[in-house]
Amino acid sequence: MASIQVAMRCRPFVGPGDLGVELRQTGDGPAGGEVNILNSNYTKTRYGFAYAWWSAHNHSKYAEKDKHIASDMKFITQDLAYEACGLKIKKDLLSGSAVVMFAYGLSGSGKTFTVFGPDAADSPDAWFKHAEPNDMWGILPRLAYSIFNEKTDEWKITVKYFQNVVDTVRDLTSPSASEQQYKAGMRKDQDGFMDINWCGKVVVNTWDELRTMFQQCNARKAISPTQFNHQSTRGHCVMTLEVEKPDADAPAMKQRGRLYVCDLAGTEPAGDIFYAEYKKVPQDDGSVEYQLIGPHSNQAKTKELQDQGKKINLSLSEMAQFFMKMAAAFKKGELKAGGSIPGCNSYFLCKYLKDTMMQAKTYLFCAIRPETKFHQYTYATLGFANNASVIKLDPKKATAAASELERKLMKELDEMRELVATLRAQLAEGGGGGGDAKETAAAVEQVATLQRQVTVKIQEIQQEADPSAAAATDAYEKQKAHLQARGITLSSEVEDLGSLNTPYLINLDEDPFRSGRMLCILEKTPTSFGREKNDVRPQSMSMVADHCFFDGSGVTRSIKGGKGAAYVNGAVVKSGKTQELKDGDRVIIGAELYVFRAPGSTAEIDEDAAFEEYRLALLSNSEYKGQFKQAASGLRVGGKSMTIDKKSAEQLEQEMMALYPKAAEVENLCTMLDREYIDTSVVLQSTKVTSASKEDAKVVVKVVNRNSNPVETIYLPAFEFNRAYKILSDELYHLRDAIGAEEQYVVPFQHDPLMLLFDSTFHVGTAVMFPEYLVYNLETDDSERLCEVFPAAASGAQNMDAGKLDVVWVPLPGPEGAGGQVADIVDETDLLGKPWTYRCTIKQALQLPMICDLCYCEYEFFDGYGYNTHATETVDFSSRPTRSPVLDYEYEHHVECVTEEFLAWLKKPLEIKIFISLDVKRPAQLAGTDNQKVVDLIRADMKLPAQRVKADVGAADALAEAMERIQSLTDKVDWLMNENEKVKKVNKQLVMQRRVALSVAMEASKKSFPDTGMEAAKAEKAGKPPPKPSAREAAPAKKKGGSSAKR
């Protein structure tokens, strides 16, 4: 019986510190590797996994304690790691099995290094920059290199590669930056494995093609520098590599092996993260070391990272909950191999991965750090892995029958190869039958022609095997044509930008996924930028007609100001004025940032400096100055206006001014997409409701749906709002392009403004309790268990009742079910120096202001040493949306030694934040070319005459809508089936209990009434009066030892 194979690996030291772990491979099997926690106070210090790898090569330089232990451990190289499990993975993949590899651990702990090796796009050591095997290669490059060396023409290898960033999936292989809401297109394929069907599947024929693809894709990943890693991935990256090849035992069948490589985001708590600054320090061996300087001066960057981190933590926590529940179920014998549990389906990671890994051969690669100062993270990772190692799997293989056309094409391919081989043999024997040089040349040309036909035939076979590839190609070609009609060229269409002999602008975006995608080639003199009748029409509502003009001819290139806002290197270009352009100049047109490039350009661009220049240029000319004071004065916390110091106020004002124009534009976009009832405004929000400091103030976008009952209000952090803004902008231009070309297009429901803006978890309110009575080991009184929920504090009107939260605290004699009595505490000083244990229960939220389909709570607990954030499990109510979600959360809090600080904390209000996701209803009509209102608005904006819409939406769009509805119904059926199974289980238990009770009663009746006992039991069961006792039963019982005969 297969189980999840866990490999625990320790990375090198990052600086001086005490040794905190010991890893040894003591044997084979599920517990052949041993991990021990050193120099800690943890009760559990030993763990057994399939593999335990020590890779801290610099221990002699940095380990300050237990150096002899570090020296005695076997050092595991990348090559040894591959030999241990990589060869098994390759064998399973080529035999048609599904294999899952996922990497888990703290950012910078080395999880990506184990799976890939160095993989930063700008690193000279990146694995894809080496054509031949390299010592630094991880498991995937070694495995892929070997497979491509064995590949024949009959094999087809395809790759999908995408990144989940919060609630979005980004296709990293897409040349046009395709991204969608994560639920879109998530379906199980014909083999029962989860897939995202809209993500491109790229056919990869050679090892070099794979390397090139990864070079491009990794440059598009969302990454940020944190104190844990100078290139921390800010989302889960998933790659699937599928190998399809003829089945040797059944020629009419194809084996389909599939490898899922899941490189998860870092597991560090969101509150611990800050956006960091590093400096590059060259080393003696030629390498570069990144040394941490400290937090970045722009606090907004840290806040954004922390907001993203909270979403990442929720996704990872759900996976941890899944493993914990699965481990408990397997230990109790409640699940068979491959079985799963209901729930744990609220976030991308579990939704995509949990069912697939249960029917695959799954490997979990965990990474930890060697220093004792990282013990809290190490302990959490070991606990996660320990639960995973218990889970039993039911791996299966995938096969598919070759179609009749595939078999025909394969036969033709074999005939072509035989002919090529024959001709080559004749040439080798003497030029094709001993003819002259002309005949030999003709034969050589014939071989070359046949070889080209072989290549075409292989492509035909591949297209027949995967019809979706042709559809994806058609969609890309259509999008490319639409962009070209607007004067924009996809950079992926230009093989070498340095070879262009015409000046151009290339877009620059803080989001690397969107940066460097669009080229505006300045071929005309002048080239006009703006709206419908201009030469170049970027995808931005900030453009106006005749916005500005470029002259790219001659030695001197220039920009001339028009009717819109334009800047060069941060300076305004006034209307009618001309500004010379040089290679590398930063140009802002409306709200879009570009870099000007001249032929043969060599100027390097400091992107961080360019983004700061862009931000300051727009702020200095903002029409929204002065609105911050109004917003700040309206923010009240604990009944008082919140005080914000000057420096913090300046930072917050800059953040708000950056969002004001986008909020106004989103309202305009919503109107154009038939959602004019959506309002947006930029406000200040406090993360606390009783008391708050300057660190608790943050900028959010308030979004209101006036068309719902009750009216729905959601607060979005800047990064989520910006994501929605960009996708809505894309969708509007897809519609504009379709209308201009008289084609059909419907905005997917997942990209409807309602879904993008309202289908997100957000802080709806905060329950406040006063825990001072916990000092005296008292249980929560029934009259105090319903805590009032206050609306999330934000500037502006707050006139809604936010409901109640049912919270109960019960004192315990000790941790983990310890016996004894709870101590009586008369005076708070009696508790000092003693242990303190309570069970916290959060039963249910009641009458929240809006109907939700997801809910969880979060609170901070002070354990005497520091603050720890605790969160309830996210509960999914999508099948039964409610205003009173049941959470059923329990947690035992234990403080080993009560201190004055802990007592002081208990005397302060305890805030429990409630987060929900709204139940978003599908609108009666989607925004599309079949929506007359949308068409009228867009045609008017494009200065086109009115036109009646066509009734036919198109088969593809209709099918997509049907599939979405089917998936929604399937989800509801799954939930009902799970609920039905629970009811059946309870009913079965009740039936058994009733049978046992009836059997006991019948036995008792037989003893008391041997003649009529059975009839009495039957009568009782039927609800009838019992029969009269027989004469023998009515007679008085004889005493033991007595006799009726006289002596």
Cα Rg for the chain, rounded, in angstroms?
A: 34
If you average pLDDT over residues 70-74, what whole number do you get?
94
pLDDT digits (tens, 9 = 90+) for 694-730: 677 889 999 999 999 888 999 999 999 999 999 999 9
Residue 302 to residue 226: CA distance in whole angstroms:
9
Q: Around Cβ 1005, how many Cβ atoms within 10 Å?
A: 18
Quote the distance between the C-alpha of residue 221 and its chain's center: 13
If you average pLDDT over residues 463-483, what whole number do you get?
74
Residue 86 to residue 256: CA distance in whole angstroms:
19
Burial class (CB in 10 A: 0-12, 13-18, 19+), 535: middle
Q: Around Cβ 945, how many Cβ atoms within 10 Å?
A: 6
What is the pLDDT, as a whole number, of residue 629? 72
pLDDT digits (tens, 9 = 90+) for 873-905: 999 998 899 999 999 999 999 998 899 999 999
Per the listing, tokens 């069961």 go with 1021
Per the listing, tokens 């010592």 go with 135
> What percent of the chain shows pLDDT beyond 70?
81
Q: In what order do the strands lie in the sheet with 46-49?
A: 21-25, 33-37, 46-49
Main-chain phi, psi angles of 4, to 5 degrees: -65, 125
Question: What CA dihedral angle connects 423, 429, 430 and 434, to 10 degrees?
Answer: -80
**Do residues 313 and 269 make contact, with C-beta atoms less than 8 angstroms apart?**
yes
Q: Which residues pair with 838 in a beta bridge?
A: 811, 893
Residue 79 to residue 481: CA distance in whole angstroms:
47
Average model confidence (pLDDT) across the chain:
84
DSSP 338: T
Contacts for 655 with CB less than 8 Å, ≥ 6 apart: 300, 699, 718
Residue 115 to residue 384: CA distance in whole angstroms:
19
Q: Around Cβ 206, how many Cβ atoms within 10 Å?
A: 11
Task: Pull the structure tokens for residue 955.
Answer: 């088969």
Quote the distance between the C-alpha of residue 201 and its chain's center: 20
Task: Pull the structure tokens for residue 262.
Answer: 């899941």
If you average pLDDT over residues 220-241, what whole number do you get?
90
Cα end-to-end span (Å), the chain: 77
Residue 227 to residue 374: CA distance in whole angstroms:
13
1041 falls in which pLDDT band (50, 70, 90)? very low
If you average pLDDT over residues 207-219, what whole number do you get?
94
Least confident of 159-163, 443-447, 494-498: 443-447
pLDDT digits (tens, 9 = 90+) for 581-629: 999 999 999 999 999 999 888 888 888 899 999 988 888 877 777 777 7
Residue 808 to residue 744: CA distance in whole angstroms:
57
Q: Around Cβ 829, how many Cβ atoms within 10 Å?
A: 12
Residue 978 to residue 969: CA distance in whole angstroms:
14
pLDDT digits (tens, 9 = 90+) for 839-857: 999 999 999 999 999 999 9
What is the pLDDT, as a whole number, of residue 448? 66
pLDDT at 486 over 90: yes
DSSP 266: P
pLDDT digits (tens, 9 = 90+) for 334-362: 878 777 777 788 899 999 998 898 889 99
Q: Transcribe 1007-1025 into DSSP letters.
A: HH-TTTHHHHHHHHHHT-P
230 falls in which pLDDT band (50, 70, 90)? confident
Contacts for 349 with CB less than 8 Å, ≥ 6 apart: 164, 236, 264, 315, 316, 318, 319
Question: Measured between alpha carbons, how far is residue 493 from residues 57, 318, 506, 1013 in Å?
Answer: 44, 41, 13, 91
Between 824 and 160, where is the model more confident? 160
What is the pLDDT, as a whole number, of residue 28? 85
Residue 575 to residue 569: CA distance in whole angstroms:
17
pLDDT at 653 over 80: yes
Upstream peptide bond of 1010 is cis (omega within 30 degrees of 0): no
If you average pLDDT over residues 556-572, what whole number do you get?
95
pLDDT digits (tens, 9 = 90+) for 977-1017: 666 666 666 676 666 767 666 666 666 665 655 555 556 65
Residue 441 to residue 431: CA distance in whole angstroms:
8
Helix residue spans in 290-363 (DSSP H): 299-331, 348-358
pLDDT at 787 over 90: yes
Task: Pull the structure tokens for residue 513.
Answer: 């996924």
pLDDT at 1037 over 50: no
Percent of residues in the chain assigned helix, strand, coil, to nearest 5: 35, 25, 35
Main-chain phi, psi angles of 212, to 5 degrees: -65, -40
Among 750, 749, 751, residue whose Cα is nearest residue 731: 751
Residue 323 to residue 354: CA distance in whole angstroms:
9
What is the pLDDT, as a whole number, of residue 17? 92
What is the pLDDT, as a whole number, of residue 1015? 65
Quote the distance between the C-alpha of residue 15 and its chain's center: 31
DSSP 130: -
1039 falls in which pLDDT band (50, 70, 90)? very low
Half-sphere exposure of 232 (CA within 13 A, CB side): 29
pLDDT at 535 over 80: yes
What is the pLDDT, as a whole number, of residue 40? 87
Residue 575 to residue 567: CA distance in whole angstroms:
11
Between 253 and 491, where is the model more confident? 491
Half-sphere exposure of 810 (CA within 13 A, CB side): 12
The whole-model pTM stands at 0.81
Q: Which residues pair with 397 in a beta bridge?
A: 97
pLDDT digits (tens, 9 = 90+) for 308-333: 888 898 999 999 989 888 888 888 88
> What percent of the chain shows pLDDT beyond 90?
49
122 falls in which pLDDT band (50, 70, 90)? confident
If you average pLDDT over residues 780-804, what whole number do you get?
79
What is the pLDDT, as a whole number, of residue 153? 80
Mean pLDDT: which of 252-266, 940-954, 965-979 is highest? 252-266
What is the pLDDT, as a whole number, of residue 997? 67
The residue length of the chain stands at: 1047
User: What SS3 state is found at 905?
Assistant: helix
Half-sphere exposure of 247 (CA within 13 A, CB side): 17
Q: Nearest-5° angle of CA 373, CA 375, CA 378?
A: 130
Upstream peptide bond of 771 is cis (omega within 30 degrees of 0): no
Per the listing, tokens 């259509």 go with 478
**Do residues 372 and 19 make contact, with C-beta atoms less than 8 angstroms apart?**
yes
Among 157, 118, 124, 156, residue whose Cα is nearest residue 138: 118
**Do residues 689 and 682 make contact, with C-beta atoms less than 8 angstroms apart?**
no
What is the pLDDT, as a whole number, of residue 962? 57
963: phi > 0 → left, psi -120 to 50 → alpha, else beta; which? alpha
Beta strands in 697-761 (DSSP E): 697-705, 712-717
Residue 706 to residue 716: CA distance in whole angstroms:
17
